[in-house]
Homo-oligomer: A and B are copies of this chain.
Amino acid sequence: MKSPQAIEALGALANEHRLAIYRLLVQAGPEGRPAGAIADKLDMPASSLSFHLAHLTRAGLIEQRRESRSLIYSADFAVMNGLVGFLTENCCGGSACAPAASAKRKAS
């Protein structure tokens, strides 16, 4: 991942509503959720939701697919992984630095 792309992704996540949307989609997994269900769950106006979904999509964090009348959104996990890798790149000058690089993740 390159710097501009990382900034785009970070900026997209740096908002209360978009972060909630993204986490909802992360938890929903690959099957995703239709826009209406998201608006319903997070209780926000359709136009605002659409604005935020477009923002996340532009950043590459989520993907859109149509299913009949509904637009289904789902998280693109590869981008998040790329982002994390970018942020910790060359951590501690390349020398071993367990505390940072071997972060415990809820990888179940």
Contacts and interface: CB of A to CB of B under 8 A. Distances in A.
Interface of A: 3, 6-7, 10-11, 13-16, 19-20, 22-23, 26-30, 75, 77-78, 80-81, 84-85, 87-97, 99-108
B7 A15 contact: yes
- List the 4 closest pairs (A to B, CB-CB), nearest first: A29-B92, A77-B100, A81-B103, A11-B14
Copies in the complex: 2
A3 B19 CA distance: 8
Given A13-B87, A84-B84, A85-B104, A7 B19 contact: yes
A73 to B, nearest CB: 15
Contacts of A26: 87-92, 100
